[in-house]
Structure 1
Amino acid sequence: MDKISVKIDSEYIKLGELLKYANVVSQGSEAKYLIKEGNVKVNGETVLERGKKIYPGTEVYALYNNEEFFIKTE
């Protein structure tokens, strides 16, 4: 599992943007597909909306192309 730490310089970042910023996906369309398929959890709960606001201290888990990613925001 890849563990990634991401510093958020604003109040929040949207989930789709976070997945791109953390290099889990390379395009927004990939993030949209990944989220809609139910392969992303935010603080342990499956999230189906790309625009979900992610604040510092949030934990995001993603499964993409049989690879697991754990993102911790600060």
Structure 2
Amino acid sequence: MNDSTQPNPAEHEGAAATPETVRLDHFLKIASAVATGGQAKLLIQSGDVTVNSEVETRRRRKLVPGDRVIAQGEEYIVETDD
């Protein structure tokens, strides 16, 4: 079990390990889809991010394990960090 509060997105290709829930903007940074929170905000608000095949414009959207996020042409699957 991993007690670290910093998930390691490199553990799984195309997936990012997270706590049980995580905000969409934070997830994009954890998954290395964007470098900064500002970039995440702009990407989300522009309508270029989907969650489970639905366009999502709320950067504070809570993601749970199993959610599928597509950003900048890449798909990411939310996984827990344990």
Give TM class, smaller chain: 0.7 to 0.9
Q: CA RMSD in A?
A: 1.1
Q: Give the structure 2 partner of residue 69 of structure 1.
A: 74
Deviations 1:36-60 (A, max 9, x none): 1000000000000100000001000
Query: Aligned to 1:34, which of 34, 38, 43?
Result: 43
What code does the residue aligned with 1:41 have? T
After TM superposition, the score normalised by the length of structure 2 is 0.77
What code does the residue aligned with 1:33 have? L
- Measured in 1, the distance between the counterparts of 2:75 and 2:53 equals 11
Say whether residues 1:45 and 2:54 are aligned partners: yes
Q: Which runs of 4+ in 1 moved over 3 A?
A: none
After TM superposition, the score normalised by the length of structure 1 is 0.85
Q: Which runs of 5+ in 2 are unaligned?
A: 1-12
Q: Give 1:5 shift.
A: 0.8
The structure where strand makes up a greater share of residues is 1
Q: Which runs of 5+ in 1 are unaligned?
A: none
| Higher gyration radius (CA) | 2
Q: Give the structure 2 partner of residue 19 of structure 1.
A: 28
